[in-house]
Amino acid sequence: MKFVSHIKSYVKRNGRITTSQKKFLKKKEYDNNFFIISKKNLNYKELFNNSNPCVLDIGFGDGKLLISIAKKFPEINFIGLEVYESGIGNILCQIDENKINNIKISNLDAVEALNNHINDKSLFGISLFFPDPWPKKKHHKRRIINDQFIKLISTKVKKNGFIKITTDWSNYADIIIKLFDHNNNFKKAHEIYLYKNRDITKFEKRGILLGNKITELSYFLN
């Protein structure tokens, strides 16, 4: 399954970059933890120098949750995708400070990466924490999770691999649930062990303060 074309689920904005983030952004092309996906077929063994299972984290934000999960599970590799420079600079700093060697990050668009660089049936799992909900109805077409996207990720995850999604927008959650319910490739799970007792993200805290319901969705691939 491949997208012929897609509407990007994000709009690049020039956010505030701290001095520390700038330091790591300036040298990111020379940082072993940052890579530009150029190969048609991404080889995880070459990327991480091991054969551990690999999880794709889409839109890691400030990176704190991804860092905490990677620290808890050093036997699993994580590829983090983020298009915003502030998030990239922040996580490169955290990787350096924590001496983490099981995270690699890229700024490539997630759909492009899945379409063109991720081998079929190669991922242990995919996570999307608080994807942009695009709350206005006229913008719903920008939401990353739709029928085509679910069909696409079903081809990239190994049998019994997982999909983990969280959102604080009830309307988005209802649509996601319906999409998975109509796709026979997935079965609902109570939780994915990697994310039990996970840290609360910045976006999650904001959603809670606004009184939004946090919906956690977990699925295994049949």
**Residues with a known catalytic role:** 132
Residue 129's SS3 state is strand
Burial track 103-131 (b if 16+ CB lie within 10 A, e otherwise): bbbbbbbbbebbbbbbeeebbbbbbbbbb
Q: Any bridge partners for residue 167, and if so which?
A: 215
Q: Any bridge partners for residue 106, and if so which?
A: 81
Residues constituting the chain: 222
Can you read off the two tokens belonging to residue 152?
């696409």
How far apart are the C-alpha atoms of 127 and 60, rounded to whole Å?
Answer: 9
